[in-house]
């Protein structure tokens, strides 16, 4: 059973960091022809550094700990060996991928199905926020690959008749640092103690796991331009609007610290005419996927998100990341800004620093080993926006209140407006800033 991903474990033996690699193909790494063709169809012209390091070892059946910067092709590094092995010994319930977020689970499933489309690979995504019965039916068909969040997987192991993981051959922990820390520690311990084949896992643990490291420390990619803005807390909204105007034409991911602030800021921006859409944990799963897909399809140019979207998501066209609320944990900064400047592209990251955030910002600079420059702003132009922003803030507060009241009256409004597309006040404003009365009120 091969376990992989993503962050440091100091007790394991380590492969040297790859500095320069001669040009190799997936075929050179031992990947079978049909999967090489699938890579070509996906536009994967050559393997990345982590794939060059990890794939041959995984094909040998070695246990792997993979470390690489964000956007470096880690999913392919574990998906290709699993599919290669599945072709050699076809079996249902062949591999399990544990992942910390629902969105990442769906993305990994898409990669498995794209790579395995020509060989009939079937996968099932087992995450919260979706009807358990439909997932039970999917598990009853015994897919080859299961991609799951730990909590919902435990739920099915305990309650779905006939479902177990005794035949499992591959286990992957994607974003393992987060899975193995306090977020999921209890669930993972429960899985290992009660549901996995413990003897197999013990034997695997004695196989001298190899660390494939192509990035030996926390760092950001070279083509990422990083800036900060030091501003009074009360003017954060105004500076955000200024930045969006200054960099108009780009696509933005804006990170907020709470679900409420994500929703509020999305409403604020929509009231000012920006095509903004939120993504946070209090939205239904269908709305979360809807927001993500609209942004991926470029139907919306601004995605406001909590850290639920900071890990692993591959959205190639993100031009600018804005840390509207500075992350409490410095490592989350690396993951957030890694949503842009992916796969060799360039990108910008701008972090808002208020009088309350100085220490957190200094920790980030210490972690990445560099002092960030100031993003240039024209303060007089920013201040000219204050009146319009203040009005939009007022409407956003009203809409949040009305949305909260509507959630208390589910029979009156069955629709789920988490996405703010039909946000109550957005279409109901009239000249003069007043709200139209809604029918039936």
Domain assignment of residue 258, yes or no: yes
Residue 277 CA to residue 299 CA, distance in Å, equals: 10
Predicted pLDDT of residue 432? 39
Predicted pLDDT of residue 418? 44
Predicted pLDDT of residue 19? 42
Residue 123 CA to residue 156 CA, distance in Å, equals: 16
Q: How many CB atoms lie within 10 A of CB 370?
A: 12
Is the sign of the CA dihedral 112, 117, 119, 122 positive or negative?
positive
Q: Which residues of 323-358 are buried (b: 16+ CB within 10 A; e: fewer)?
A: bbbbbeebebbbbbbbbbbbeeeebbbbbbbbeebe
Q: Are 170 and 58 a contacting pair, CB within 8 Å?
A: no
Residue 30 CA to residue 32 CA, distance in Å, equals: 6
Residues 116 and 245 in one domain: no
| Full-model pTM | 0.67
Cα 57 to Cα 30, 133, 280, 321: the distances in Å are: 10, 38, 37, 35
Final residue of a domain: which of 159, 180, 213?
A: 213
Predicted pLDDT of residue 20? 41
Domain hosting 339: range is 224-407
Residues 306 and 386 in one domain: yes
- Helix ranges (H only) for 272-308 are 285-296
Predicted pLDDT of residue 411? 46
Residues 255 and 118 in one domain: no
Predicted pLDDT of residue 1? 43
Predicted pLDDT of residue 24? 85
Domain assignment of residue 436, yes or no: no
Predicted pLDDT of residue 185? 78
Query: Tens of pLDDT along the chain (441 residues)?
Result: 444 443 334 334 444 444 444 568 999 999 999 999 999 988 888 998 899 999 999 999 888 888 877 667 889 999 999 999 999 999 999 999 999 888 889 989 999 999 998 899 999 999 988 889 999 999 999 999 999 999 999 999 999 998 998 889 999 999 887 787 756 878 888 887 777 654 554 444 545 667 776 664 556 667 789 999 999 999 999 999 999 999 999 999 999 999 999 999 999 999 999 999 999 988 888 888 889 889 988 899 999 999 887 776 767 789 999 999 999 888 889 888 888 876 667 889 999 999 999 999 999 999 888 999 999 999 999 999 999 999 999 999 999 888 776 666 554 444 444 444 443 333 343 233 333 333 443
Domain assignment of residue 219, yes or no: no
Give me the CATH number covering residue 262.
3.40.50.300
Residues 183 and 245 in one domain: no
Domain assignment of residue 2, yes or no: no
Residue 208 CA to residue 16 CA, distance in Å, equals: 16
> What total number of domains does the chain contain?
2
- Helix ranges (H only) for 167-220 are 176-179, 185-194, 198-205
Residues 287 and 393 in one domain: yes
Closest CA to 339 of 298, 363, 307, 294: 307
Predicted pLDDT of residue 177? 78
């Amino acid at each position: 059973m091969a376990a992989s991903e993503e962050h440091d474990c100091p007790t394991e033996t380590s492969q040297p960091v790859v500095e320069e690699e001669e040009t190799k193909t997936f075929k050179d790494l031992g990947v079978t022809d049909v999967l090489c063709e699938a890579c070509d169809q996906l536009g994967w012209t050559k393997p990345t550094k982590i794939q060059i390091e990890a794939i041959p070892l995984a094909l040998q059946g070695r246990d792997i700990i993979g470390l690489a910067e964000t956007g470096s092709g880690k999913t392919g590094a574990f998906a290709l060996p699993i599919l290669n092995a599945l072709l050699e010994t076809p079996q249902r319930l062949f591999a399990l991928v544990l992942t910390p977020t629902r969105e990442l689970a769906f993305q990994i499933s898409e990669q498995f199905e794209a790579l395995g489309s020509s060989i009939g690979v079937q996968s099932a995504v087992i995450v919260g926020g979706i009807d358990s019965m439909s997932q039970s039916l999917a598990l009853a068909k015994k897919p080859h690959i299961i991609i799951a969040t730990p909590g919902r997987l435990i739920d099915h192991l305990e309650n779905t008749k006939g479902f177990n993981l005794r035949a499992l051959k591959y286990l992957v922990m994607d974003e393992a640092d987060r899975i193995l820390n306090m977020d999921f520690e209890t669930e993972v311990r429960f899985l290992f103690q009660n549901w996995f084949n413990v003897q197999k896992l013990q034997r695997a643990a004695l196989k001298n796991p190899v660390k494939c490291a192509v990035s030996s420390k926390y760092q950001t990619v070279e083509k990422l331009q990083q800036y900060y803005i030091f501003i009074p807390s009360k003017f954060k909204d105004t500076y955000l609007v200024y930045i969006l105007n200054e960099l108009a034409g780009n696509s933005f991911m804006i990170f907020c610290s709470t679900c409420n602030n994500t929703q509020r800021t999305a409403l604020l921006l929509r009231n000012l005419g920006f095509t903004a859409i939120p993504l946070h944990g209090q939205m239904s799963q269908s709305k979360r996927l809807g927001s993500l897909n609209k942004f991926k399809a470029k139907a919306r140019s601004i995605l406001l998100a909590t850290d639920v979207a900071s890990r692993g998501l591959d959205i190639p066209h993100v031009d600018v990341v804005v840390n509207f609320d500075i992350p409490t944990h410095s490592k989350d900064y690396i993951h957030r800004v890694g949503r842009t400047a992916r796969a060799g592209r360039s990108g910008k990251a701008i972090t808002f620093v208020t009088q309350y955030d100085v220490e957190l910002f200094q920790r980030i600079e210490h972690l990445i080993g560099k002092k960030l420059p100031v993003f240039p702003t024209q303060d007089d132009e920013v201040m000219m926006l204050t009146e319009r922003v203040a009005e939009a803030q007022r409407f956003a507060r009203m809409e949040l209140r009305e949305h909260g009241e509507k959630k208390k009256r589910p029979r009156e409004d069955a629709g789920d407006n988490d996405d703010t597309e039909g946000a109550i006040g957005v279409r109901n404003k009239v000249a003069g800033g007043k709200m139209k009365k809604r029918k039936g009120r």
